[in-house]
Structure 1
Amino acid sequence: MARTYRLFVLGRPTFDVEYARACSAAAIKALRNCGVNLAGSGDILFDNASVAAEIEAQGNVAADGVIIIQSTFTDAEAICMIAERFDRPLHIWALPEPRTGGRLRLNAFCGLNLAAHALGLRERAFVPLYLSADDARVETRVAEWLKSAPLTKPALRAAQAEASEAGAKAAAALRGMRIGRIGEHPAGFDTCAYDTTRLTELAGVSVEPIALSHLFDQARAVADSDVRRTRESLGTVAGLDEVDQAELDRSLRLRNALDQLKAEGRFDAFAIRCWPETFTEYGGAVCGPVSMMGEKRTPCACEADVYGAISSYLLQAIADAPAFLADIVDMDDESDTTVLWHCGQAPASMASAAEPISATIHSNRRMPLLFQFSLKAGRVTLARISQAGGEQFMVIAGGEMEEAPPSFAGTSGVLRLDRPAADMRDKLLSAGLEHHIALVYGDHRAALEHVAHKLGLPVLDLTQ
């Protein structure tokens, strides 16, 4: 007998809506070809009001479970609304996209990542699927997915008490660390939430809230001569003259304003609400300035991610080199590679020498300044102090960054992890990890173990 599922298709209008519609329509066709009955319109729901209306429209339909198609990136609010309303098995299908070197048109995996974290905090089980609807075995894979049980949450282990000079210095550097949190994290980003008391207890870290409007005011007041010097420092960056010059000026002013805030507040790092207000209210991207600040050893975490800032600062201290706080945007089983990406903010010293660093614009908001380059080849270490499931622990992973052209516009790297990509994906999602993870070059896992031991943090090693 055919099973009936409630269907919700989630998306955001800032991504490629027509492409998302085509991909989600193919996914719905595959579901129906498996003999599944679907209750729901199948239209993409672009906001929480549309989700609430769809929940009500489905009324008291007798359903065996809930299927959510993550057609593009979304925050986790809508999925939590659905999960709280329906106490039935929950399946979430995120749609991959080709690595074209151009715009990240869907970014659906990152949305799945946020959902996994939010559902983990609420102890709500779900079954993930990350599969293209045009996969040759899509119907077989979908049928298996619908029969699958939720992934098992991985166990944490005690940190190894290894002696490490770099780890000891990094643990000491965290003590008394000061973070400027500029603006609030976006709604639906539980991944970026933090508790001041826990931070103080963890490592004596302090966070000072700063109004986003204050950053904008500081930027507008920067002297023109200082902006010119900042631009001159980018002499090797191609294409600066090809972007909107007024928007470029406003973007560069943010770099100078961050320098001023750092000096005034003696901050070691920033956690910045980077969108939408930098575009909609101020008129320039902070991504390029974040790259420049990172290169100068002042990590800046997007989306006001305080623990992301701490994790970047920790890796920077261990490696004595800039760190990059990235999203995982693709984990491909066939090539067994993972793409780490962010809009255009990786430190310039991480760039591959295969092509020049170039200036570009934000793929959704269409404003400069962002940097375009692929990450250089070499051994890398990934880490984050996580709060997944409401518990603090150290996440560690390693792999080899491959020499490859950019996967998507902005700054990105193709990574071959020490564990198969499919296994890593299951572990990441079942643990409900945050969507940001910090990266540095070199193998620094022993130092991270030392820091975890000193801080009393258990460890989740994703590549073991």
Structure 2
Amino acid sequence: MHRSSSPQPKIALAGLIRPVWSGDKEGQLARSLREMEALAREWGFLFHPCPEPVLTWEDGQRLRAELDAAGVDFLLLQTSSFGSGDALMPLVDGRYRLGVWSVPEPAVEGRLPLNSLCGANHLVSVIVQYAQVPHGVKWFHGQATDPFFQRRFRITVDALRGLKRLQGARIGLVGKHPMGFHNLFFDRRVVEKRFGVRFYDHELADVFARVRKIPPEKARQIAEEMVALASEVRVEPAALEQVGAFEAALLSVAQEGGYDALAVRCWPEWQDEFQRAPCSTLGRLNHLGIPTACEGDLLGALGMLLLNGIVGEPTTIMDMIAFDREDESILLWHCGPTAPALADEQGMRLTLHFNQRLPVANDMVFRKDPGTILQIMGDGQHIFLLDGEGMGREKPSYDGSRGWFRNLRMNRQPISVLDLISTVMAHGLKHHYALALRDCTEAVLEAAAWLGLETLQPVPYSDAKPLASEVR
């Protein structure tokens, strides 16, 4: 629970060789091990070097046991020269994901030194066609210092961070989703198996009992911390101390359950019981490194957790509440559950809930950064992926946590706002979207590929109802 930075995936590098090839196979592997160790220090992942070349089935079997014991998340198999498919076979069903890496030939004519690219083609074919490894393999090419290799590999490292964040994650549901939010139902068993997470339930009554037992000095301390993060305070100290007790109670639930994320039923009981809104409390939990979704949205919390693992900073959950055909933009908004770190230079104001007129909500405009917008759909078999350019304060917006985005792309391809809204409505997307303020779309797509998920496809706008064949 409570991870303040991106997880560090453990990545192993091993080299397959055959003695018949004339190039410096061992030298190539040694060079790559050194350069990969430098990348691990620079990028912040754990590196497991495998200096002994893999020549035989027995070598592969030995290495497989070593990697599983070390808890490796990703095995990068370099064809330091053309290698043996027999040596590969023990490695294909380990508890890690697979990459195959070819390197340029050291000479351009005469005797072929390594046959590395053909070797990679061979290994990938065995993995995909013969071994039929679930969700396959990713290929790489170049030296570890090459920009082409680094760009491709960096996406994998970021995707692995997100997957590591999900691995064995525990997500707590506090209360249920509000009455009438039937679109938040899903089959927990399917999602738990697909994503490797577990969901747990807590009653609001238990949390409320904890609120009443929080010592006043603890609630006051949290209130002071909230004020220190705000650019302006428009609520009374007593209200801040009350929601400070909310935070302490929810933190105790998260700590006792070892939860990595929460989904909280945030109305109407809190308001009825305490005459306070818990919006700022959810923002504080997000600030503290516990992705927390509003309105009991467990899949929303799951999407926030994935994005949080990739970007290593707070994420939030949003509604899509307006679109503008003039400048092809959309407005994302919610009542005020967002961490102050996402605010622009004017910061976050502690104020009243926009609708209930109860304290406390985080009022802010997002900083002018790219946004990645994610929804995990159905029973987790599809994702909706959108990104756009943040507009800051270029346009007016509603009180709460919010931001306008333009230059929209779906699955990294440009999309008009009418096609976007057509897609949202035709597929029946939920009204909640996880948001990270960074373009991490490539890492999300790769994480989805490793999980075996499908990306939702656009449905072009038409004045007529779209045909069933268009909604796929």
TM-score category of the 2 structures, normalised to the smaller one: 0.5 to 0.7
Aligned residue among 399, 413, 438 for 1:442: 438
Q: Is structure 2 residue 228 aligned with structure 1 residue 235?
A: yes
Q: Deviations over 1:332-355 (max 9, x none)?
A: 2123211100101111111010x2
For 2:386, the aligned partner's letter is: A
Contact kept in structure 2, 1:191 and 1:305, CA below 8 Å: no
CA, structure 1 residues 159+314, in 2 after alignment: closer, same or farther (shift >3 Å)?
A: farther
The AA in structure 2 aligned to 1:396 is: L
Counterpart in the other structure of 2:387: 398
Instruction: State which of 419, 423, 429 in structure 2 corresponds to 1:427.
Output: 423
Question: Residues 360 and 410 of structure 1 are in contact (CA less than 8 Å); yes or no, is this contact kept in structure 2?
Answer: no
Percent identical: 28
Task: Indicate whether 1:409 and 2:402 are aligned.
Answer: no
1:250-304 deviation per Cα after TM superposition (whole angstroms, max 9, x unaligned) = 2221111121111111000111110111101232111101111111110111111
Distance in 1 separating the partners of 2:270 and 2:162: 32
Whole-angstrom CA distance in 2 between matches of 1:250 and 1:374:
25
Q: Is the 8 A contact 1:192 1:303 kept in 2?
A: no
The answer for the alignment partner of 1:254 in structure 2 is 246
Structure 1: stretches of 5+ with no match in the other structure: 1-157
3-state SS in 2 of match to 1:369: strand
**Distance change >3 Å, CA 362–CA 159, structure 1 → 2:** farther
- CA shift, 1:243, in A, is 2.0
Is 1:451 the counterpart of 2:447? The answer is yes
1:206 aligns with 2:198: yes
Partners of 2:229 and 2:340 within 8 A in 1: no
* 1:461, distance to aligned residue in structure 2 (A): 5.5
Q: When the two structures are aligned, how many residues end up with a matched partner?
A: 303
Does the Cα contact within 8 Å between 2:292 and 2:316 map onto a contact in 1?
no
Match of 2:301 among 300, 309, 321: 309
- Which residue of structure 2 aligns with residue 71 of structure 1? none
Q: Given that residues 193 and 306 in structure 1 are in contact (C-alpha distance below 8 angstroms), is that contact kept between their aligned partners in structure 2?
A: no
- The aligned amino acid for 1:194 is F
How far is the alpha carbon of 1:462 from its aligned partner?
Answer: 5.6
Counterpart of 1:379, as a letter, is P
Q: Is the 8 A contact 1:177 1:206 kept in 2?
A: yes
Secondary structure (helix, strand or coil) at the match of 2:450 reads helix
Alpha-carbon distance between aligned partners in 2 of 1:302 and 1:263, rounded to the nearest angstrom = 19
Question: Looking at CA atoms only, which structure, 1 or 2, has the larger radius of gyration?
Answer: 2
The aligned counterpart of 1:377 is 368
Aligned to 1:217: 209
Displacement of 1:414: 0.8
Distance 1:180 1:406, change over 3 A: farther
> For residues 317-344 of structure 1, what are the alpha-carbon distances to aligned partners after superposition, in whole Å with 9 as ceiling and x for unaligned?
0111111111111112123211100101
Does the C-alpha gap of structure 1 residues 216 and 391 become closer, same or farther in structure 2, counting only changes over 3 Å? closer
Deviation at 1:204, TM superposition (A): 2.2
Q: Which whole-Å CA distance do the structure 1 matches of 2:350 and 2:390 have between them?
A: 23
Report the Cα distance in structure 2 between the residues aligned to 1:461 and 1:320, rounded to whole angstroms.
Answer: 28
Q: CA deviation at 1:248?
A: 3.0
Residue 244 of structure 1: CA displacement? 4.2
Distance 2:380 2:157 in 1: 27
Does structure 1 residue 361 correspond to structure 2 residue 365?
no
SS in structure 2 opposite 1:318? helix
- In the alignment, does 2:287 pair up with 1:295? yes
TM-score, normalising length: structure 2? 0.61
- Aligned residue for 1:235, secondary structure, equals helix
Task: Give the match for residue 23 of structure 1.
Answer: none
Once the 2 structures are TM-superposed, how far is the Cα of residue 444 of structure 1 from its aligned partner?
A: 1.1
Alpha-carbon spacing, 1:218–1:413, altered in 2? closer, same or farther (3 Å) = same
Measure, in 2, the Cα distance between the counterparts of 1:311 and 1:159: 23
Structure 2: state its 5+ residue gaps. Answer: 1-134, 139-151, 410-414, 461-472
The answer to whether the 8 A contact 1:360-1:368 is kept is yes
Match of 2:177 among 173, 185, 193: 185
Determine the C-alpha separation between the residues in 2 that align with 1:291 and 1:211. 21
Helix, strand or coil: the match of 1:384? strand
Tell me how far apart the structure 1 counterparts of residues 399 and 269 of structure 2 sit (CA, whole Å): 21
Shift of 1:190: 2.2
TM-score, length of structure 1 as denominator length: 0.62
Tell whether 2:329 aligns with 1:329: no
Structure number with higher relative contact order (C-alpha < 8 Å, ≥ 6 residues apart): 1
